[in-house]
A = this chain, B = another copy of it.
Amino acid sequence: MTEQFIRNCWYVAAWDHELTPGKLFPITICDVPLVLYRTDAGEIVVLEDRCCHRMAPLSLGRIEDGCNLRCMYHGLKFNTAGTCIEIPGQDKIPTTAKVTRFASAVRYDWIWVWLGDEHTADLSALPKAQHEPGEGYLYRRGHLDYDANYELLNDNLTDFSHLSYVHAASFMATDVWADTRPEVKAIDRGIRVTRWFGPERAPIRPESQSAERLQGGASNYAMYQTYDYLAPGILLMYASIHDPAVVPTPRPSGAALPKLSVRIDLQAVTPISQKRTRYFFNAAVREIDGGEPMADSALQITEMAFAEDRAMIEGQQKILDLRPGNEMLTSADVGPVQFRAALRRLRAAEARKETANA
Contacts and interface: CB of A to CB of B under 8 A. Distances in A.
Interface of A: 28, 31-33, 49-50, 52-57, 59-60, 70-76, 87-90, 94, 96-97, 155, 159, 161-162, 164-166, 175, 178-181, 311-312, 315-316, 318-320, 322-325, 327-332
A332 B86 CA distance: 13
A60 B165 CA distance: 11
A90 B332 contact: yes
A324 B55 CA distance: 8
Nearest to A61: B165
Contacts of A165: 70-75
Contacts of A178: 74-75, 88-89
Contacts of A89: 161, 178-181, 330-332
A15 B159 CA distance: 39
A50 B161 contact: no
Nearest to A309: B73
A90 B168 CA distance: 20
The A interface is mostly helix, strand or loop, or mixed, namely loop
B322 A31 contact: yes
Contacts of A59: 315
Contacts of A74: 159, 161-162, 165, 178, 330, 332
A57 B175 CA distance: 20
Contacts of A328: 52-53, 94, 96-97
A250 B90 CA distance: 24
A325 B55 contact: yes
A155 to B, nearest CB: 7
A56 B320 CA distance: 8
A315 B32 CA distance: 14
Contact of A327 (B55, B87, B90, B329): B55
A318 B28 CA distance: 11
B55 A319 contact: yes
Nearest to A98: B328
A96 B329 CA distance: 10
Contacts of A73: 162, 165-166, 312, 316
Given A89-B332, A323-B32, A323-B33, A57 B318 contact: yes
Contacts of A49: 319
A288 to B, nearest CB: 35
Contacts of A319: 33, 49-50, 55-57
Which 6 A-B pairs rank lowest in CB-CB distance, beginning with the nearest?
A88-B178, A57-B315, A72-B165, A90-B331, A89-B179, A52-B328
A76 to B, nearest CB: 8
Given A33-B319, A50-B319, 12 more contacts: A32-B323, A52-B327, A53-B328, A55-B325, A59-B315, A72-B312, A74-B178, A75-B165, A75-B178, A76-B330, A88-B175, A88-B178
A306 B89 CA distance: 24
A75 B329 CA distance: 13
6 contacts: A50-B323, A55-B323, A55-B324, A72-B166, A73-B316, A75-B178
A316 B184 CA distance: 46
B75 A315 contact: no
Query: Quick one: which of A311, A329, A330 has the most chain B CB within 10 A?
Result: A330
A319 to B, nearest CB: 5
B312 A60 contact: yes
A72 B181 CA distance: 18
